[in-house]
Amino acid sequence: MKKFKFNLESVLNFRQLQEEQAKQRFGQAKMYALRQKELLQHYQEVLSKEQETFIDKIDISLLQHKEMYIDCLCQRIERQEEAVKKAEDIVRERQIEVTKAVQATKVLDNLKEKRYQEYLAESNHEEQKLLDEIGLIRFVRQAVSNE
């Protein structure tokens, strides 16, 4: 009997490659989102420290500079919050891509398994036919030799 060969093996390999690439993009998106969140947290910590020290200053010009700096930090925080939201959206998109890629690969894996089971059944059937034929030939030879 010939060796098992899955006709869609190249398609399965391609889908597995797509799945791996989708997982890599998902991981990169998660790392990017994490860095954006850390940056946002850093800005918020700096703002908090600056607001605490704002009260201690007496010099008017220094107070004005501090106020401008705090305003600038607030704007950065707003932009960073938007960046975090965008990064999280990208993470969700990448997760959907991974899910679709896994499903596409799973379909072909299941088909391959089904075809392999059919191959095994056919192989067993042919082997059984061969064994039956050998048994019949022995039986006939014994019957002829006994006569």
Query: What is the rounded CA–CA span in Å between residue 79 and residue 69?
Result: 15
Residues in the chain: 147
Helix/strand/coil percent split, the chain, to 5? 90, 0, 10
Model-level pTM? Answer: 0.67
| pLDDT of the residue at 62 | 75
* pLDDT tens per residue, range 106-126: 999 999 999 999 999 999 999
Query: What is the rounded CA–CA span in Å between residue 92 and residue 95?
Result: 5
* pLDDT tens per residue, range 13-31: 999 999 999 999 999 999 9
Token output for 87: 């990064």
